[in-house]
Amino acid sequence: MSSPTFHLAIALDGAGWHPAAWREPGSRREELFSPGYWVDLVQEAERGLIDFVTIEDTLGLQSADPFVPDTRTDEVRGRLDALLIASRVAPVTERIGLVPTVTVTHTEPFHVSKAVATLDHVSEGRGGWQVKVSGRSDEAQHFGRRELVGFEAGLADPAVQTQVVELCDEAAEAVEVARRLWDSWEPDAEIRDAATDRFIDAEKVHRIEFEGRFFSVRGPAITPRPPQGQPVVAALAHAEVPYRLAARSADVVFVTPHGLDDARGILAQVAAAVDAERRDPGRERLLVFADLLVFVDTAAESGAARLQRLDGLGRALSSDAAVVTGSAASLAEQLAELASLGFDGVRLRPGVLADDLPAIVDGIVPELQRRGLFRTRYEAATLRGQLGLSEEVADRYAKAVLR
């Protein structure tokens, strides 16, 4: 009997995805900026055999409006660096994938490539990267290198639309630079032979000589080839332009369907984006994960009641992803429906991490296992292997020579 191929990811953010989650007694709000808090979350997800966790991050403070800053003081504000959290968590976990969010706007792909490669080394092949763009003008001001139109005019504004295309084109180029840098060291470039006085073989370390519209990077990387060769690249997408970014650059795309009809339409749009970008037929298929924000029933309170109660404490929850409540069995049934449509997996956003993460691990996961949709053990040592991606990634520079 073949192993299940449906995948589960967990999106970690603060105390949870509801803006009032930090108010809950079990939220550990005093520990949100401590390493132990994040270690415990990821170890709990690993107990549930989750494929990978993503860790949210931005270049600006959280806001009730995703496009402009606010002045609220009744919600969590401030973050630790997601990639550094992942690197801290890596040595105390064993099999779960670690996919921090790293913004490519205002950052340099050389630095990002080096940091993600380091995460892959520290985790022994479980590293990944969720690519994010930044169109907020206040975030641009933190760096002072360029001005952005900002989203205040609305997404329908032609100048905003042009900027979105530019940012996604820049992001695609940043990913391409990172991928080439990961390839710039062949797997056996390190000799470490004291007898011959050679630590590396210079003929197996390659300049990438990348010249693009946004970046000019000579290379090579200064970090040896990552254990996976190519760490997993993911992206969140809601519309045609970011779908095409994912089709060009990512291994995994997160989408946000609202209902089954919408889910079918999104799968068709992603397929159209893959065709439009002429994704190399020899390249592996883009994996599509549906995002759902979940409030799972517990013995103490139903998910719907918890959502309603939290909405009454401050700002009501608003989300780009569908918000679903119910028993573990009913939510597992919704996931099974998405699997039947052809989704490769689901990324769950726990409304309150203290309540919903254990409910996912102890409730939804066993329900999926009973349906034969989810594994009963980890079956691969690397994140690529766990997702069914090739673990033998060719090095594009293997025949070139550094001079």
List C-alpha distances in Å: 239 to 165, 267, 320, 400: 11, 12, 12, 39
Distance, in Å, from the CA atom of 271 to the CA atom of 287, rounded to the nearest integer, reads 11
**Number of Cβ within a 10 Å radius of residue 23:** 18
Residue the block writes with tokens 């329908």: 156
For every residue of 245-268, DSSP letters joined together read HHHHH-SEEEE---SHHHHHHHHH
Q: Of 37, 16, 23, nearest to 348 (Cα)? A: 16
Instruction: Report whether 57 belongs to an annotated binding site.
Output: yes
172's enclosing H/E stretch is: helix 158-183
Q: Which residues contact 279 (CB under 8 A, 6 or more apart)?
A: 247, 248, 286
Does residue 46 sit in helix, strand or coil?
Answer: helix
**Number of Cβ within a 10 Å radius of residue 200:** 17
**Number of Cβ within a 10 Å radius of residue 340:** 11
Does residue 346 sit in helix, strand or coil?
Answer: strand
Does residue 337 sit in helix, strand or coil?
Answer: helix
Distance, in Å, from the CA atom of 400 to the CA atom of 403, rounded to the nearest integer, reads 10
Distance, in Å, from the CA atom of 146 to the CA atom of 270, rounded to the nearest integer, reads 32
Residue 267 dihedral angles phi and psi, to the nearest 5°: -60, -40
Instruction: Report whether 256 belongs to an annotated binding site.
Output: no
Q: Which residues contact 114 (CB under 8 A, 6 or more apart)?
A: 181, 221, 222, 223
- Beta strands at 198-200 and 232-236: parallel, antiparallel or unpaired: unpaired
Q: Enumerate the known binding-site residues for FMN.
A: 57, 101
Q: Enumerate the known binding-site residues.
A: 57, 101
